[in-house]
Amino acid sequence: MSQTQSNASRMDGPGYSRRSFLRNGVAMAGGMAAFVAALRPLAELGEGALPSMDEFLQKHYKEMNEQEMQAALARIEAKVKERWDVDAEVRDVRPRDGVEFVYALNLSRCIGCRKCVHACVAENNQSRAPEIQYIRVLEMPTGTLDIEQGDHDYDHPTVPDAGHYYMPIQCHQCADPPCTKVCPVEATWTEDDGITVVDYDWCIGCRYCEAACPYFARRFNFAEPEIAAEELNTQMSYLSNRPRSKGVMEKCTFCLHRTREGRQPACLEVCPVGARQFGNVRDPESSVSQILETKRVFVLKEDVGTLPRFFYYFDERYPRSGETAVEEG
């Protein structure tokens, strides 16, 4: 290093006065101060907002062994207790062997009452504010199957409304799902019984799956989900209805915490007109197998090639009866 060079970089070199140094230093300090101050909102991060070391190191669902899964479930139960002061039971419910689920929906029966929508919200601990609903009921004008002509916001005094039929749409648990293809971290995949699931602790929130889904089935938590303690369903499972955090995806899971134990999904049980049928398509005696055999079923957007597990059909023999004098329900 030559002498002139070292002079240039030495602070007491000829080109450097004390005033200059102070001014530089103050400007730098100002810059640093402004930088740190810009991060002020981070001071308001809630306690659970940043992951704990255990959560940070938690593995993908498929890679966790029994012990790690139990630890994860215990963590979730503890968090529920801390946040809502409620004792929850969180399990890891596995698929049954020899079972592949299929859902069938009779469009001649659905009256558009939206009970399924809200039963699902209650069962799956979805955020009430901002609102998340997995099921979307479309009011379709008769004469068309073009779902772009559906009305999502219908609000008649009573349903069904004349000249319309109703089509509830939720995740179809496709056999060739575009959403699982596009996830960069494999946070969503198809299980052996056909249900497409999301590992809420693995999702990075890029929303590529939401862009890929042709059925508007996936939902994103844009804010921290808000549920009241008395609204919480305490029977939870890791892959379905345990509480989610902001920044992750979620969707209908065919109530796998119920259906994998033989029970019916919540939307089916609440339907007042019996429009929904659910079961194991590998069992030829099941209602869904019978429907696929005997009814003229179709799927939405068949041309996209997703192979949905959700089949729609009409089986009207005569138009639905209209208004009546006797009020019920």
Partner 1 sequence: MKEYFRFLWRCFRLSLVGDWRYMTWMTVLTVISLLGLNAYAKQFVLGLATTGMTDQVSWGMYIANFTFLVGMAAAAVMLVIPVYVYRNRELHDLVIFGELLAVASICMCLAFIVVDMGRPDRMLHLFERFHFPVSILTWDVIVLNGYLLLNLHICGYLIYCKYRKRTPSRSFYIPFVFLAIVWAISIHTVTAFLYVGLGGRPFWNSAIIAPRFLASAFAAGPAFLILALGVIDRFTRYEVPARAMDTLRRIVTVSLIINLFMLGSEVFTELYADSAHSVSLKYLLFGLHGYDALVPWIWTAIVLESLALLCFLTPLGHQRTAMMIACTAIVFGIWVEKGMGLIIPAFVPSPLGEVVEYVPTLNEALVCFGIWAFGLLLFTIFVRITIPVLSGRLTFDREYDPNEDLEPAAAASETLSGQAARG
Partner 2 sequence: MRLLISATFFLLAGWFLMYSGAGALPQFERQHVDPASIAPVPRRAILRDPAKVTIGGIEQRCSACHAIFPSTQDAPAARLQHTEIVLEHGLNDRCDNCHDKGDHDGFVLYGGRVVGFDDVQLLCAKCHGPTFRDWERGVHGKTLGSWVVGSDAQRRLLCTECHDPHHPAFTPYVPLPGPHTLRQHATERHADEHDHEAYNPLRHWRTEAEDAPEEGAH
CA nearest to 259, candidates 239, 233, 274? 239
Q: How far is Cα 326 from Cα 324, in angstroms, rounded to an integer?
A: 6
Separation CA 135–CA 266 (nearest Å):
12
Site membership for partner 1, residue 112 (CB under 8 A): no
Nearest distance in Å: CB 20, partner 2? 8
Report the partner that residue 221 touches, choosing among partner 1, partner 2, none (CB closer than 5 to 8 A by kind). partner 1
Query: Per CB under 8 A, does 278 bind partner 2?
Result: yes
Cα–Cα distance measured from residue 120 to residue 124, given in angstroms and rounded to the nearest whole number = 6
According to DSSP, the residues that pair with 169 across neighbouring strands are 136
Spatial CA neighbour of 170 closest among 226, 95, 110: 110
**Interacting positions 70-99 with partner 2 (CB under 8 A):** none
Residue ranges in 34-53 that form contacts with partner 2 under rule CB under 8 A: 34, 36-38, 40-44
Cα angle: 295, vertex 299, 302; to 5 degrees: 135
Of the candidates 108, 132, 105, 109, the residue with the CA atom closest to the CA atom of residue 121: 132
Q: Which is nearer to partner 2, 5 or 20 (CB)?
A: 20
Query: Which of partner 1, partner 2, none does residue 325 bind to, with CB < 5 to 8 Å depending on kind?
Result: partner 2
Per CB under 8 A, which of residues 127..186 are in contact with partner 2? 128-131, 133, 136-137, 141-144, 146, 149, 151-160, 163
Nearer residue to partner 2 within complex by CB, 131 or 192: 131
Q: Pick one of 58, 64, 77, 112: the residue that binds partner 2 (CB under 8 A).
A: 112
- Beta carbon of residue 40, minimum distance to partner 2 (angstroms, whole number): 5
From the list partner 1, partner 2, none, pick the one residue 305 interacts with, judged by a Cβ distance below 5 to 8 Å according to partner type. partner 1
Considering only 182, 273, 292, 299, the residue that binds partner 1 (CB under 8 A) is 182
What would the x/- binding string for partner 1 be over residues 68 to 107, using CB under 8 A? Answer: ----------------------------------------
50 is written with which tokens?
A: 């940043």
State the CB neighbour count (10 A cutoff) for residue 208.
17
Encoded one letter per residue, x for contact with partner 2 by CB under 8 A and - for no contact, window 113-132 reads xxx-xxx-xx-----xxxx-
Q: Among 88, 268, 306, 309, indicate the residue that binds partner 2 (CB under 8 A).
A: 268
What DSSP letter does each residue of 186-253 carry, written as one string? --EEE-TTS-EEE-TTT-----HHHHH-TT--EEE-SS-----GGG---EEETTTTSPP-TT-EEE--
Question: Considering only residues 262-321, where is the footprint of partner 1 by CB under 8 A?
Answer: 301, 304-306
